[in-house]
């Protein structure tokens, strides 16, 4: 079952179960995917976006909510922070399991070997390989410095 089908099924189930918060989050996910589909069709992709792009959308949505929750907590708005954390849980249901630091390190080493990277100029190639294979499974914000460190040494 592809990701869109899972999200649609979850949306229908949330409607049946009358889970307003979950339903709201699932509708936000659908809206974000449809926005990307419209952009893709304008660029000539009649099928819309692929599952890898949907994973990227979900990852971005999750990261945005983490930042918002942190901001709300710092501002003393715990009610809004809890709402954001609830949305994160719904979004993460559709994301694959995050890789551990050790698994990420092994994946970085494998990507460097695959590309044959020998310097910092090859960082883009390495990141491209990692993004194509592990989208949604690793935090590229923390992997980037790891790749840079390995390529500089």
Local confidence pLDDT in tens for the 153 residues of the chain: 588 899 999 999 999 999 999 999 999 999 999 999 998 888 888 787 888 788 889 988 988 999 999 999 999 999 999 999 999 999 989 988 888 888 888 988 899 888 888 888 888 888 888 888 887 788 778 888 888 888 887
SS3 content of the chain, % helix, strand, coil (to 5): 80, 0, 20
Which secondary structure element, helix H or strand E, spans residue 127, and what is its range? helix 123-134
**Residue 30: closest CA among 96, 80, 22, 133:** 22
Domain spans of the chain?
3-92, 101-152
Domain 3-92 in CATH 1.10.1510.10: yes
pLDDT at position 1: 59
pLDDT at position 6: 92
Task: Enter the pTM of the model.
Answer: 0.73
Whether 101-152 and 3-92 are alike in CATH topology: the answer is no
Report the top-level CATH class of 101-152: mainly alpha
Burial class of residue 28 (count of CB atoms within 10 Å of its CB; 0-12, 13-18, 19+): middle
């Amino acid at each position: 079952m592809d990701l869109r089908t899972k999200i649609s099924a979850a949306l229908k189930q949330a409607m049946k179960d009358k889970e307003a918060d979950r339903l709201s989050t699932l509708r936000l996910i659908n809206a974000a995917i449809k926005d990307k589909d419209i952009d893709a069709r304008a660029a000539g992709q009649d099928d819309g976006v692929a599952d890898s792009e949907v994973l990227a959308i979900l990852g971005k949505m999750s990261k945005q909510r983490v930042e918002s929750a942190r901001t709300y907590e710092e501002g003393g708005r715990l009610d809004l922070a809890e709402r954001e954390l609830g949305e994160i849980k719904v979004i993460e249901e559709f994301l694959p399991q995050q890789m551990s630091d050790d698994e990420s390190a092994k994946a970085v080493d494998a990507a460097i070997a695959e590309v044959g990277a020998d310097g910092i100029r090859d960082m883009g190639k390495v990141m491209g390989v990692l993004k194509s294979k592990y989208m949604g499974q690793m935090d590229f914000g923390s992997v980037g410095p790891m790749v840079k460190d390995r390529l500089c040494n």
